[in-house]
Amino acid sequence: MCGINGFINFKKNLSSPEGSLRKMTDKLYHRGPDDSGIWFDPVTAVGLGHRRLSILDLSSDGHQPMLSKSGRYVLVYNGEIYNYKSLSHRKFNGDTASLLNSIDEVGLEKTLQKINGMFAFALWDKASRKLFLVRDRLGIKPLYYGWHKENFLFASELKAIRAYPDYQLEINRQALALQMQYLAVPAPYSIDLGINKLMPGEYLVLDYASKKVKTYKYWDLQKIAEHGLQTQPKLSDGEFKAALHEQLSRSIKYRMISDVPIGAFLSGGIDSSMVASLMQAQSSKPIKTFSIGFNDGKHNEAKFAKDVARHLGTDHTEFYVDESNAIDVIPKLPSLYDEPFADASQIPTFLVSQLAKKSVTVSLSGDGGDELFAGYNRHVFGPKILTKTSFMPSSLRRLAGSLLSSISADSWDKVSRVLKVDRKIKLLGEKAHKLAKVLSATDINSLYSQVTACWEPGSNIVLGVGEWIPRSSRGMTGNIGHGTAGDIGWGMSGSASYGMMGDSREMSSRGLTAGSITAQMQYLDMINYLPNDILTKVDRASMGVGLEARVPLLDHNLVEFAWRCPLSLKIRDGKSKWLLRQVLYDYVPEKLIDRPKQGFSVPIENWMRKDLKDWAYDLISPEKIKSEGFFDEKIISKVWQEFQSGKGAWHHHLWNVLMFQAWFSSGLQGD
């Protein structure tokens, strides 16, 4: 795993282009501490930079930028291609050389259809004078690009782009409004106005002569999902289980290929336990597993991970984090993420990556299982609630939702303790408020937005965005009260253009044209939440300590298989990820796995009322908010007061604002 960057200095006005390139490259040291290199062509003023984390082929043969045997192409590459040995009849020790040779032999398009892995790379074609930027199918690896004073820039992280001479950051307020909704700035936008993220499954072509940029899709999840839904094979449960087991085993076997020590994150949940189980089944010695624990029982899964590790016989390492350990991470977050990012599980993800790095250089993660096999509570309960309340007029549903949300989450939790139902229903207050949001939904668009939004669209918390209101996807049709959770329907059409002022880029692909409510939500999760939040979090947290994180559940072959699985294999008897559970139960007893979904969370609610109270208030005091001019200080002040008094569960909303404030106040945004 590595970091890449580069530019085309069309104006040819840099006094030291190679020095500028080195400065950009050095900003990515953490992504590749083992080696670095630059390549610059004085004729075209094209520069490519690379930082290397050596995983495959530890020799100097893996040095980049790398020239093809023909001399036509120059490549800087970030990622791992697991089937690199089958790309060509010629054999290479590393995936970079194999990738470059395949492009030399059959071209970029055919190569992209063949490769299996996670990657982001830049390819300069000296013959056609074209620059190609490519991102993997699911968006596991990041790639930013954009224009600065008629010069084209790109990099794995924004910090490298900001190191370009005379770069001046202008904050994209529309992107900030999206961050308030999604906790992260979604692709194709970035917090830097004029800089975009390349979308998953796309490649970009910049023609040097015309300076025109075009993007193309080489893998389209919408088409994959729709084809899978329409061509589901008629197999028995046992046959589907066997096929899934084979797909999982192959994917994990690929991701165990390494010339350096390898391990796995283990939370004790279904996905990470599945990965650890199949790794151990294919290893002749105990694999290394890692987990983080909290003394706060409500947020602690380490005890479950330890039970699973003991059963599997892994070499398990756990680290119990006290508040000071976790809080010490917070000052690192602005530099780690480069733009505001507010999924609070970023803290334990960084800590478990830091723990794993002490023993291994590669760690496998269970991310992706929820999206593929309907593992989120919204996949199970959202359609159920909509079906059971479909007879109710929308006004009555909204009234019921208002009544549920009028009671604070703390009060709901107190009720659950008094009635002694907390063992069955974890976080009753949070669930009651989510139910309130579901009840107010009128179609799939509003349903998905309600259950995933932090600050709701149209909350007007961000100043200066006019009438623009972001939506999770556009063109979704169908009203609540027609059809059932399992019906094929809820047609979606049109594009997801957000109508941003002066920017017609799309935030996501078109919606599915057919599928159950659950399938529609799974798809939206895979194009929005998965790449923009989950995969961003894992990439930055792991690469921040020089650790490569691999995600075997997002092998594109497994993704395509999952879309061919009927919904009845994903949700059955009220349980999510049914088929995945059946495979896992062959390795781990059901009693060690079957428990309410908890998530990888931290007690930020308690912290912001105690240890972090002064830090938080300093960042969001009315005076500071008003002087900076990004947020409505009256809204934030009201929310802060309600939160501190216990009247509202506003901790996620406040953390979202705080992550922008901490980033903006750090001074790193102009680095």
317 has which bridge partners?
290
Residues with active-site annotation:
2
Q: Are strands 202-207 and 130-135 parallel, antiparallel or unpaired?
A: antiparallel
**Contacts of residue 201, Cβ cutoff 8 Å, sequence gap at least 6:** 135, 136, 137, 138, 139, 217, 218, 219, 220, 221
Residue with tokens 């055919």: 110
Q: Is 214 exposed, middle or buried (0-12, 13-18, 19+ CB in 10 A)?
A: exposed
CA distance 380 to 571: 7
Task: Give the list of residues 6+ apart from residue 562 with CB closer than 8 angstroms, or none.
Answer: 228, 372, 373
Tokens 């050596």 identify what position? 54
Laid out side by side, the sheet with 315-321 consists of 315-321, 288-294, 262-265, 362-364, 548-550
State the sign of the Cα–Cα–Cα–Cα dihedral 639, 171, 474, 509.
negative
Q: Backbone phi, then psi, for 212, in 5-degree steps?
A: -85, 140
Q: Name residues whose C-beta falls within 8 Å of residue 408's C-beta, 6 or more positions apart in sequence.
A: 429, 646, 647, 648, 649
Amino acid 64 reads Q
Q: Scanning the structure block, which residue is given the tokens 């994959």?
A: 224
Query: What does the alpha-carbon distance between residue 97 and residue 75 come to, in Å, rounded to a whole number?
Result: 9
Kindly report the CA angle at 289 between 283 and 293, in degrees rounded to 5? 165
3-state secondary structure of 123: strand
Q: Which among 32, 40, 17 has a CA at the least distance from the CA of 96? A: 32
CA–CA dist 140, 125 (Å, integer):
25
Burial of 324 (0-12, 13-18, 19+ CB in 10 A): exposed
Whole-angstrom CA distances from 646 to 195, 249, 407, 650 are 40, 48, 11, 9
C-beta neighbour count of 480 within 10 angstroms: 24
The structure tokens listed for 107 are 């071209």
Helix H, strand E, coil C: the string for 127-140 is CCCEEEEEECCCCC
